[in-house]
């Protein structure tokens, strides 16, 4: 017995020692990774600023180093669009930067960020410095960026693939699989274009949804295609004809149709770059990493007496205090802090949200209205400012939108799933005891009756009326006119400018400059102001600790993955809630292709 106790105690002590050692090792790893983001790079005295889009991902805000990326050998670095814009602005004035060498292959990020990066490169050229691009596998996004260049060189190697095919949108519909699972989704909405819940009740798109999606996709493509065609001195019709006719295949095709200036190998490119630099050999040319340059040059001006606050409303609008999404209570408190801070002279509300909870949107908007009473508030729209994203921002003093922003979607819906048939299918008996006729109305275990549907429809109608009224008031429009362009319809930013939903096409840099001008200060130089960001980005350590607690997908890679995505994070508190959200989100992947879900 004594030996057993000794062995047990020894085993426990051994486990404690191993646990302590592993804890110290983990803390060391975390500290080492955190230190990666704290080193200050040393830049050469002069050189070429190299922007390699395969090594950066454009985000709304810079995301710290991800531990999984370090272990998996990933080389992409997150860069917030404000950081990227400021770095290019600094390079235009920096005599040590001779010109920009752009490698656009692998461009990835949201459409709004890519559009704003191109605008910044266009402004860089007005400094008299050149932008030179070298492209191997052209895609929608990579060629869109490359087209801003003074010269576009293209690889003449065999095997490159043209990925410039135009935009497309794929919509997912789950009715058939939900029927097989016994799930009946009851959708209550206002707005014939409000299609956010259609995926649960239909097996294909409604005519209204097809109409708005076709208009949106064509508008987005027209905005990009017009810039690409104009930059190369050809008409939009000719450019689209080349794509629709599949005329662009080999590098020689791109050269023949004037989409690039020269074909060359990497060795020939090195010789050309060294000549532009004024060196005899490429070995004598110093390359400056864009990430290193941004780290070294984009430094807050802590000596500034006045501040401009940028509040990033990035993500789904939800209730509560969630750290990753646009949580109503958290953001309302954040906006109140900016209002009370006397050193903050103006606020830019950067919206990149497809919407979400009406309750949370209402809380945020009311704080924006209070903020407007004491200081200017300018909105800047990223890739999305739709439904709840438009609700929270439509009363701002001025609204800037990217041409590719998806906005509007002024409409609301409520969705109540009924799982009673699912229970029958898998052999679960449900017995309900309620205090009255409607005690189990939101239980999800029976269909709504006619009175309950009418009750929910009345709530949706009331909120829709409120939505259109606050838009009319905020934008100075007639409510009847707003109702005509609302009905849940999604608009591209260029079209939203025409119908009065936004004031000007422009990016975050434009919005910050305009906000400064609204303060009445004689000093309108952005660099003279301290820019403070809300919410403060997570540190690397915070991201690691959060990652360690993440849940993984149960049905990833299976036919049920779409259903899991659709109902992820669903709980009974969300049943019957009214939402102001657009039906899809769009991304540009590493090949420059669009996807929606």
| Among candidate residues 534, 406, 402, 410, the one with its CA nearest the CA of residue 474 | 410
| Among candidate residues 310, 387, 297, 321, the one with its CA nearest the CA of residue 344 | 310
Q: Is 393 a catalytic residue?
A: no
| Among candidate residues 170, 178, 31, 166, the one with its CA nearest the CA of residue 559 | 178
Q: Is 573 a catalytic residue?
A: no
Q: Are 459 and 414 in contact (CB under 8 A)?
A: yes
Q: HEC profile for 166-194?
A: CCCCCCCCCHHHHHHHCCEEEEEEECCCC
Q: What is the DSSP string of 185-244?
A: EEEEEE-TT--TTHHHH-SS--HHHHHHHHHHHHHHHHHHHHHHHHHTT--HHHHHHHHH
- What's CA 236's distance to the chain center, in Å? 28
Containing H/E element for 443? none
CA-based R_g, the chain, Å = 27
Q: What's the first-to-final CA gap in the chain, in angstroms?
A: 64
| Among candidate residues 287, 301, 389, 221, the one with its CA nearest the CA of residue 55 | 287
Neighbours of 112 (CB within 10 A): 29
**Catalytic: which of 361, 387, 513, 596?**
387
| Among candidate residues 230, 182, 172, the one with its CA nearest the CA of residue 203 | 172
Cis peptide before 134 (omega within 30 of 0): no
Q: How far apart are CA 348 and CA 365, in angstroms?
A: 14
| Among candidate residues 429, 394, 396, the one with its CA nearest the CA of residue 409 | 394
Q: Are 374 and 398 in contact (CB under 8 A)?
A: no
| Among candidate residues 41, 597, 567, the one with its CA nearest the CA of residue 290 | 41
CA dihedral 221, 224, 230, 235 (to 10 degrees): -10
Q: How far apart are CA 58 and CA 144, in angstroms?
A: 15
Containing H/E element for 586? strand 586-588
Q: How far apart are CA 313 and CA 315, in angstroms?
A: 7
**Catalytic: which of 98, 194, 307, 375?**
194
Q: HEC profile for 280-339?
A: CCHHHCCEEEHHHHHHHHCCCCCCCCCEEEEEEEECCEECCCCCCCEEHHHHHHHHHHHH
What burial class does residue 2 get, using C-beta atoms within 10 Å of its C-beta: 0-12 exposed, 13-18 middle, 19+ buried?
exposed
Q: How far apart are CA 446 and CA 503, in angstroms?
A: 47
Q: How far apart are CA 489 and CA 210, in angstroms?
A: 11
Catalytic residues: 194, 387
């Amino acid at each position: 017995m004594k030996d057993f106790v000794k062995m047990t105690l020894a085993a426990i002590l051994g486990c404690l020692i191993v646990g302590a050692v592993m804890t110290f090792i983990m803390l060391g790893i975390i500290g080492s990774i955190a230190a990666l983001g704290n080193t200050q790079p040393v830049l050469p005295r002069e050189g070429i600023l190299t922007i390699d889009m395969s090594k950066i991902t454009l985000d709304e805000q810079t995301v710290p180093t991800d531990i999984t990326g370090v272990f998996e050998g990933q080389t992409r670095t997150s860069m917030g669009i404000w950081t990227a814009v400021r770095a290019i602005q600094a390079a235009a004035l920096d005599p040590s930067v001779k010109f920009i060498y752009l490698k656009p292959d692998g461009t990835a990020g949201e459409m709004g960020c890519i559009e704003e990066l191109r605008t910044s490169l266009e402004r860089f050229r007005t400094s008299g410095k050149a932008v030179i691009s070298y492209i191997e596998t052209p895609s929608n996004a990579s060629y869109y960026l490359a087209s801003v260049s003074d010269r576009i060189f293209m690889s003449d190697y065999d095997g490159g693939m043209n990925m410039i095919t135009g935009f497309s949108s794929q919509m997912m519909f789950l009715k058939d699989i939900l029927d097989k699972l016994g799930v009946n989704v009851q959708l209550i909405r206002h707005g014939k274009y409000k299609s956010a819940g259609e995926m649960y009740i239909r097996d294909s798109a409604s005519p209204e949804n097809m109409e708005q999606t076709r208009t949106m996709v064509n508008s987005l493509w027209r905005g990009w295609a017009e810039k690409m065609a104009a930059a190369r001195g050809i008409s939009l019709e000719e450019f689209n004809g080349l794509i629709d006719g599949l005329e662009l295949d080999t590098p020689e095709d791109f050269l023949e149709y004037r989409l690039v200036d020269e074909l060359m190998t990497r060795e020939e490119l090195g010789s050309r770059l060294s000549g532009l630099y004024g060196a005899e050999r490429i070995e004598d040319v110093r390359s400056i990493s864009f990430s290193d340059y941004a780290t070294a040059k984009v430094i807050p001006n802590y000596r500034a007496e006045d501040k401009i606050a940028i509040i990033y409303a990035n993500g789904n609008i939800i209730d509560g205090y969630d750290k990753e999404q646009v949580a109503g209570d958290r953001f309302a408190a954040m906006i109140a802090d900016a209002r009370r801070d006397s050193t903050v002279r103006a606020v830019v509300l950067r919206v990149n949200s497809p919407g979400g909870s009406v309750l949370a949107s209402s809380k945020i908007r009311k704080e924006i209205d209070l903020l407007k009473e004491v200081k200017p508030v300018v909105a800047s729209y990223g890739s999305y400012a739709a439904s709840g994203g438009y609700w929270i921002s439509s009363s701002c003093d001025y609204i800037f939108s990217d041409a590719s922003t998806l906005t509007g979607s002024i409409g609301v819906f409520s969705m109540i799933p009924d799982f009673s048939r699912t229970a029958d299918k898998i052999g679960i008996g449900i017995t309900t005891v309620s205090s009255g006729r409607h005690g189990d109305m939101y239980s999800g275990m029976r269909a709504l009756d006619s009175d309950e549907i009418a009750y929910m429809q009345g709530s949706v109608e009331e909120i829709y009326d409120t939505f259109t009224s606050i838009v009319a008031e905020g934008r100075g429009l007639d409510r009847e006119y707003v109702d005509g362009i609302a009905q849940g319809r999604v608009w591209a930013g260029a079209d939203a400018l025409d119908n009065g939903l936004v004031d000007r096409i422009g990016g975050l840099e434009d919005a910050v400059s305009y906000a400064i001008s609204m303060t009445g200060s004689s000093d309108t130089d952005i660099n003279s102001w301290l820019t403070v960001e809300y919410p403060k980005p997570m540190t690397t350590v915070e991201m690691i600790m959060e990652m360690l607690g993440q849940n993984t997908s149960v049905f990833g890679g299976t036919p049920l993955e779409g259903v899991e995505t659709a109902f992820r994070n669903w709980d009974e508190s969300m049943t019957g809630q009214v939402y102001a959200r657009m039906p899809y989100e769009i991304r540009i992947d590493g090949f420059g292709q669009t996807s929606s879900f």
